[in-house]
Amino acid sequence: MSEGSKGSSLAFGQVVIGPPGSGKTTYCHGMREFMGRIGRKVAVVNLDPANEGMPYPCAVDISELITLSDVMENLKLGPNGGLIYCMEYLEANFDWLQEKLAAFKGHYYLFDCPGQVELYTHHDALKNVFAQLAKWNFRLAAVHLVDSHYCTDPGKFISVLCTSLSTMLHVELPHVNVLSKMDLIEQYGKLAFNLDYYTEVLDLSYLVDHLASDPFFRNYRRLNAKLVEVIEDYSLVSFVPLNVQDKESMRKVMQAVDKANGYSFGDQEHRSLEALMSAAVGADFHFTSTLAVQEKYVQSRDKTVEEEVMDM
């Protein structure tokens, strides 16, 4: 809890959501370590009943209440139905969650959530859990992780934008969309546009034009144009790039989330953050700046344009 809110019962935190493989557990582990270095007491709450072998010390673990494997075995449900059942069971046992969280009063909370997309776009169980936390004076922001490799495919990127928008409207929390695994983006192939085009979600008509060059997507140009129109009409979706191994990148994400949930840290934490950012690179942090990736694409594009001019 921030120094300014010691006299109140407010608690602050993040609900970390996103599709499977987007890096939610890795994010929680990295953010817990980063915040710990600046003096913020962090409690990680695992709400994923399928999560096993967490890399972080788990303050509260839903597996003490219910596990996906038990549900699938005893109720003969598949993984999707099992996860929905687990979230409904958690919703029916708020008293268990409240009792567990009460043991970590004064901490900043990271909620590591399941990866089933339907839980954030259609189903109400997790949404109701977040609403109940708000009634308990939790000030939460949703951190929606999306794997950055979707940027390399215009069709997938439009799909991700629609999912992000749907999630923002359904979950009803202050929202920070994050492009994760930025350190791996070069392995996925060359981007059609500069990185800021994707993070700021700039004029998407260019994306529709780019898709039209594909014979398959050419037949769906009007559909893509309408989807893009919906995204632009709401003007809600933008992304913060993240490389968990880069502390500057982690700082930017943390500050975006702090702004979203209203967290305000005191002088001591501010001094600790400044000391951490100015310190030499540690063994567990690598300065592979996201900005360097963006600059590489800008330089590559400039070089391509220069070569085209020379050929004319």
Of 153, 143, 72, nearest in space to 109 by CA: 143
Question: Residue 266: pLDDT band by 50, 70, 90 thresholds?
Answer: low
Concatenate the DSSP letters of all residues of 205-256 into one string.
HHHHHHHHTSHHHHTTHHHHHHHHHHHHHHT---EEE--TT-HHHHHHHHHH
Please write the tens of the pLDDT for every residue from 176-231.
999 999 988 878 778 888 888 999 998 898 888 888 887 878 888 899 899 999 99
Mean pLDDT, range 117-145, rounded to an integer = 96
Its pTM stands at 0.83
In the chain, what are the domains? Answer: 11-199+238-265 (3.40.50.300), 202-236 (no CATH)
What does the mean pLDDT of the chain come to? Answer: 86
Q: Which two tokens stand for residue 289?
A: 């700046």
Lowest-pLDDT range of 81-95, 116-130, 211-225, 247-261 = 211-225
Q: What is the pLDDT of residue 164?
A: 95
Please write the tens of the pLDDT for every residue from 61-110.
999 999 999 999 999 999 999 999 999 999 999 999 999 999 999 999 99
H or E stretch covering 145: strand 138-147
Question: Residue 27: pLDDT band by 50, 70, 90 thresholds?
Answer: very high
What's the CA dihedral at 78, 84, 86, 89 to 10 degrees?
-140
Q: Reduced to 3 states, what is the DSSP secondary structure of residue 129?
A: helix
Residue 266 phi/psi, 5° resolution? -85, -175
